[in-house]
Structure 1
Amino acid sequence: MCWIILQLLILVTLSCPSCAEDETQVTDPCPEHQRAFGGSCYEFVGHQKPFLSAQAWCEESGGHLAFIPDEDTQHFLQRHLDPKKDTWLGVAPPASPKLPDSATVEGALSWLDGSHITYSNWVTSPQPGAACGHILKDSGFQWEAITDCNKKLHFICQFESGRSIVCADRDTTLQCGSGQVLIIHGGFYGRKNIHYCRTPRSPPTASTQHQCGWVDVGDSVTAHCRGRQVCQMAEVVNSISEPCPQLGSYLSVDYHCKDGRSH
């Protein structure tokens, strides 16, 4: 009997490989209220907010609205979404008007980090003027691009394993598990992307869609967080001169967690 049960378990695992991916593809465990997949943690937020407010909510914890780069990610998200609810995605106009071929890539929309939308599941192709996108309810989880980004919808936050976005006006924390310490791989402070940490000073207009400046702060973050399990990023931000005073800056940090104390 035990042998039969074991064979059945093996068959189930082989027939649904993505079912086992949730807890195996993220280096550091996700919090209990998030789901792991493909090197990221995802939070399916029950609140309803306008697009910019939803992005700001994700940024509070170092993340961003979710990207869907491939069919596997699409299927993973579908397993956790309510098909009766509209849900924001991290889709916006290209971060720079000078991106090559931007006018021919999915109606000039991109993911918030500026990467091209190479996999898509649109109900209809995005039209000129579309400024944001969401998963459309009652559509079989297809996407819709719209101009009205002030609608209040549910949303998904994505927290990339080993990378955190820290807005200058928010006290984001880097944190490892018990018995672990932070190892910093690099970081910059400034603005490389118009869509992250948006403020009234940084509207998404053609005249401001460019990087205004940034500085390498990897050594500063390393010195501040060395040997710590928890590290407050506000202290780092406050110690750096503003490289982008017109639009405002944000901090991007690459890191991982390691057992024991750093040397």
Structure 2
Amino acid sequence: MCGGSMKNSVYSTGKAAAAALPSCGPKDTGVEINGDCFYLGDSEVFFLEGERQCVGLGGHLATIDSEDTQSKLETYLRPFRADAWIGLSDVLNEGTFQWMDGSSLGAYTNLRSKLSTSDFVFLQATRKFQWQTAWMTNLKRPLCQLTGTAPIITKCGTNDYGNMIGTSQDCYAVMPGPSNFRDSQYACWTRNGHMALITATNKDEIIKHINLFGYSGVRDYWVQGSDPSVYTELKYYELYKEGTSSSGAPNGAVCILEDVSASTPCSSGYRYDSGSFKWVDGEPTDDANGVFWKDGQGVGNIANGKCAKLSSRRLYWINMPCSGQNAALVCKAPAAA
């Protein structure tokens, strides 16, 4: 005892101090818990910027699926005294929480009994790291769960405009924009590609490309949806959920690039579309008076082909099928900025 009238006493709980958790992650400033590396980012960022940083390190915003993991994270986070984003939200279905890796909330939860009206979950430092919700544009430090090493990036496409991730054979180019749909489509064509068709199979890969190479701020992205009659975008505020917009919206875009060679010197594009012929870059043909088509050819003769061939004899245009025919090619591809 010491301190006179202000004396204090020190007692033992009889419990051994918890063993220090193994270090991991950037500069060994993370901790290993149950085989995964949990790492608290240095800066306060938006929710999706936090996910972007975690993807670049080889993971996602953290999933917490047990009391043991929660307890060990509290020990790790306590010295930082900072709120931390985790990978949980109910933005896609109000009241149904889902982790960023696609898994459901599961049996374990540390959500507070009274949540705010927003959708994105963080660990609240002043409430013993209970789970609370906030707007995705609030600033918090990201808590990453690193399940592997940083992704291996391979340049690809004409002039290395695109990137391939890991063992994938698909070459994507993310255009940060902002541009309307038509200009974004043209940007894909000038890079020997086209707007990426999004499917259930490649959606995660496309979003990964956006996280790694997209604009580091609030931005939606043009893609090609299953219905070509509408303009499809991936919505930032809904974790890149598919939606539609007007063609003039200022978005980024995701292109898929094609290999070009002596045998296939031009990338694919659009030809006959919705009752008229267009150039591959989408521009309408200047043939209102029919002066370029041979008599009987053009829109009225699409049964004989939806592509056009320039006759070497008379220099007029005639219909021809878009496949199964041989002809020389003239490509137009202005240099991309």
Q: State the TM-score, normalized to the length of structure 1.
A: 0.51
What is the CA–CA distance in structure 2 between the aligned matches of 1:123 and 1:39, rounded to whole Å? 27
Q: Which residue of 2 aligns with 1:72?
A: 68
SS of the counterpart of 2:77?
A: coil
Tell me the CA shift for residue 36 of structure 1.
1.0
1:34 to 23, 30, 35: 30
**Residue 46 of structure 2 corresponds to which residue in structure 1?**
50
**Identity percentage over the alignment?**
21
> Which of 128, 131, 135 lines up with 2:123 in the alignment?
135
Larger Rg: 2
Alignment match, 1:19? 19
Matched residue SS, 2:40 = strand
CA contact (8 A) 1:91 1:133 kept: yes
- For residues 157 and 190 of structure 1, the distance between their equivalents in structure 2, rounded to whole angstroms, comes to 23
Displacement of 1:195: 6.8
User: 8 Å contact 1:133–1:144 — kept in the other structure?
Assistant: yes
Over residues 71-127 of structure 1, what are the superposed CA-to-partner deviations in whole Å (9 max), with x where a residue is unaligned? 1110111011137421111112376x6xxxxx7xxx211111121112111112657
Distance in 2 of aligned mates of 1:46 and 1:90: 17
Secondary structure of 1:49's counterpart equals coil
Give the distance between the partners of 1:53 and 1:187, measured in 2 at CA: 26
Q: Distance in 2 between matches of 1:43 and 1:171?
A: 27
Q: Distance in 1 between matches of 2:57 and 2:164?
A: 6
Partner of 2:86: 89
* Corresponding position of 2:174: none
Structure-1 separation of matches of 2:96 and 2:118: 9
Cα distance in 2 for residues equivalent to 1:138 and 1:40: 26
**Alignment: residue pair count:** 175
Q: What is the 5 A alignment of 1:230-241?
A: none
Q: Which residue of the other structure, out of 132, 144, 150, is the alignment partner of 1:144?
A: 132
Per-residue Cα deviation, 1:208-261 (whole angstroms, up to 9, x for no partner): 747xxxxxxxxxxxxxxxxxxxxxxxxxx9899xxxxxxxxxxxxxxxxxxxxx
What's the secondary structure of 2:51's corresponding residue? helix
Question: What is aligned with 2:104?
Answer: 116
CA RMSD of aligned residues (A): 4.4
**CA distance in structure 2 between the aligned counterparts of 1:164 and 1:73, rounded to whole angstroms:** 23
Conserved? CA contact 1:63–1:165, under 8 Å: no
Asked if the contact 2:57–2:149 (Cα under 8 Å) also holds between the matched residues in 1, the reply is: no
Question: Residue 142 of structure 1: CA displacement?
Answer: 0.4
Range with bigger deviation, 186-195 or 36-45: 186-195
In structure 1, stretches of 5+ residues that fail to align are 1-10, 98-102, 175-183, 211-236, 241-263
Q: Contact between 1:65 and 1:158, CA under 8 Å: does it hold in 2?
A: yes
Question: Do the aligned partners of residues 239 and 165 (structure 1) sit closer, same or farther apart at CA in structure 2, a change above 3 Å counting?
Answer: farther
Equivalent-residue separation in structure 1 for 2:96 and 2:139 (angstroms): 24
Runs of 4+ in structure 1 over 3 Å off: 162-174, 186-189, 192-199, 237-240
Contact 2:86-2:123 within 8 A present in 1 as well? yes
SS of equivalent residue, structure 1 residue 74: helix
- Within 2, Cα distance between the matches of 1:153 and 1:66? 13
Residue type of the partner of 1:38?
A: N
Partner Cα separation in structure 2 for residue 91 and residue 30 of structure 1? 21
Q: Which has the higher contact order (CA 8 A, sep 6+)?
A: 1
Q: Which runs of 5+ in 2 are unaligned?
A: 1-13, 156-161, 171-200, 215-219, 222-233, 243-255, 260-337
Q: Counterpart of 1:35 in 2: which secondary structure?
A: strand
Contact 1:88 1:133 in 2 (8 A): yes
Distance in 2 (alpha carbons) for counterparts of 1:125 and 1:168: 46
> CA separation in 2, counterparts of 1:67 and 1:111?
6
